[in-house]
Structure 1
Amino acid sequence: MRPKALYVETLIRTDLDTLWEHTQDPALHRRWDLRFADISPLAGHDGHFRYASRFLGVTVTGVGVSAASRTWPDGSRTSVLRFASADPLSLISAGAGFWRYTPVGDGVRFVTGFDYGTRWGRVGQLADRAFRPLFGWMTAWSFDRLRLWLETGTPPEEQLLTAPSAARCGRTRPRDEVAAR
């Protein structure tokens, strides 16, 4: 059975342009996202970037590309991303996902959905049973860290580690979105 794609959503009380900047600018993104120790644009390759992740003292690297972005007639935006790692220490071989930004009355509904393939055969599939929920939790915790930054002005580096909470984020795709796929 194929594992479920990861899904996280939250409401951030800010304007769409501010949220877009804090998620699309690598220098700002790496400050709030627990999943990445570094995100750096690749010179001469528009939309491409290199990333590094550290987990349990192990650093793995990979590359990604902002494959597309679109502003919709209702004012919402979508950003599509592809990523891959040739690093033999990386459980993740390649994946893709999206960020959706939907203005609502009191802020922006910020949603991500992504999935990835693993390496190491059956061992990788078994390792992913533990890693995937942790990766989802890290994504949700990071979204709440970003929310706190934009709503309170407290930079991520000054937030207590217990201030963000993954529990404040939705982690299950709403049924109406599943039906629309």
Structure 2
Amino acid sequence: MKNEPIYVELSIDSEMDKLWNATQNPDLHQQWDLRFSEIKYLPKEEGKPQEFLYRTNIGFGKSIEGWGKSVGSHHTEDGSKTSSLHFGTDQAISIIKEGRGYWKYIPQSDHSIQFLTQYNYEPSFGLPGKLFDRFIFRPMMGWATALSFDVLKRWMETGETPASQYTRFFSNVLLSFFFSFLWIYHGIVPKLIAMHPDEVLMVTNILPLTNNEGELIVLVAGVLEVLVGITWMLYKNKRRLFCFQAIAFPILMATAIVSDIHYIFLPFNPLTFNLALLVLSIIGIRISANIPTATSCKRKP
């Protein structure tokens, strides 16, 4: 089973020295590269490659620690630079055994820099490890590399720090999962499964419908809410969904209160519930503006 190398490329509007420093200085590198939690250079011996140690936190107090060597850098007459790496780890839990790759910096006529990387590695754990790597881990590594490159680009071009970008990115992801769960849960549990009497009562209090007709409306509403929850998982432009909710939640709140004013006196009521969701949606609108994305990178040579 042949391992396809990971390739990521994008254009960065930056001075060469500034970009080189951000990628070669370990203190700066670890700020933007999602693949590493810590990079530490070891004392360099004259005439030998620069050696370093890296650590990647994988959660639950566990981390992968490995070694690396900058095996060479080449500067051409047109100003291009190349930095090659040899890396690996001896930890048994690591899917990566050993690998090699390079970074290349190519000046463009518009004064931008074409920044690209290609690397490959040998996975551990035999055939099961190769299958896991091919279908799960390697795509994740490619995505993490591309997202990191876009974070680096925005840092170089706009000055927004990687920490700020990642805070907005993962807050956006968290809110997206939360709203997806919320819509699906409220569509399935109280409407499709339980057909809760209060759900039907809210409909029949506003519209002149029979109980059976009210149940049909609740059934349709439940299906629509599930579809909205699925949309949160699949639709890429989350900002539009946040804007939709900023309109929808006040309407849902007003509808529930108009159906029965006594709802606002309940411990968990539509007034406070929808106001909280409205505030979260407004926060989502703010943080989802121009967030970093892995899709901005070219993934094939």
Query: Which residue of structure 2 aligns with residue 71 of structure 1?
Result: 75
Query: Which residue of structure 1 aligns with residue 64 of structure 2?
Result: 60
What does the per-residue CA deviation read over 1:128-152, in whole Å, with 9 as the maximum and x for residues that have no partner? 0210011000000000000010100
What does the per-residue CA deviation read over 1:105-155, in whole Å, with 9 as the maximum and x for residues that have no partner? 231000000000011111211110210011000000000000010100011
CA contact (8 A) 2:44 2:50 kept: no
Query: Which residue of structure 1 aligns with residue 298 of structure 2?
Result: 170
Amino acid at match of 1:52: R
Amino acid at match of 2:157: E
1:151 to 153, 157, 173: 157
Identity of aligned residues (%): 40
Q: Which has the higher strand share?
A: 1
Query: Which residue of structure 1 aligns with residue 32 of structure 2?
Result: 32
Q: Residues of 2 paired with 1:168 and 1:98: CA distance?
A: 20
1:106 to 107, 111, 114: 111
How far the C-alpha of 1:32 sits from its partner, in A, is 0.1
TM-score with structure 2 setting the length: 0.56
Q: Residues of 2 paired with 1:19 and 1:148: CA distance?
A: 12
Question: Aligned to 1:151, what secondary structure does the other structure show?
Answer: helix
Amino acid at match of 1:51: Y
Q: Residues of 1 paired with 2:10 and 2:63: CA distance?
A: 28
Number of equivalent positions: 173
2:41 aligned with 1:2: no
Q: Residues of 2 paired with 1:56 and 1:5: CA distance?
A: 26
What does the per-residue CA deviation read over 1:41-82, in whole Å, with 9 as the maximum and x for residues that have no partner? 123556111001123443111000110001011110000000
Comparing both chains, which one has the higher relative contact order based on Cα–Cα distances under 8 Å and sequence gaps of 6 or more? Answer: 1
Question: Structure 1: which 5+ residue stretches go unaligned?
Answer: 174-181
Amino acid at match of 1:10: L
Query: Which residue of structure 2 aligns with residue 179 of structure 1?
Result: none
The alignment's C-alpha RMSD in Å is 1.2
Q: Residues of 1 paired with 2:73 and 2:43: CA distance?
A: 20
2:142 aligned with 1:136: yes
Q: Residues of 1 paired with 2:44 and 2:83: CA distance?
A: 21
Amino acid at match of 2:77: P
Query: Which residue of structure 1 aligns with residue 95 of structure 2?
Result: 91
CA contact (8 A) 2:9 2:115 kept: yes
Question: Aligned to 1:117, what secondary structure does the other structure show?
Answer: strand
Query: Which residue of structure 1 aligns with residue 210 of structure 2?
Result: none
Residues 56-65 or 33-42, more deviating: 56-65
Structure 1 residues 125 and 140 mapped into 2: Cα distance closer, same or farther (>3 Å)?
Answer: same
How far the C-alpha of 1:9 sits from its partner, in A, is 0.3
2:85 aligned with 1:81: yes
Question: Structure 2: which 5+ residue stretches go unaligned?
Answer: 173-290
Q: Which has the higher helix share?
A: 2
Query: Which residue of structure 2 aligns with residue 126 of structure 1?
Result: 131
What does the per-residue CA deviation read over 1:9-38, in whole Å, with 9 as the maximum and x for residues that have no partner? 010000111110000000000000000010
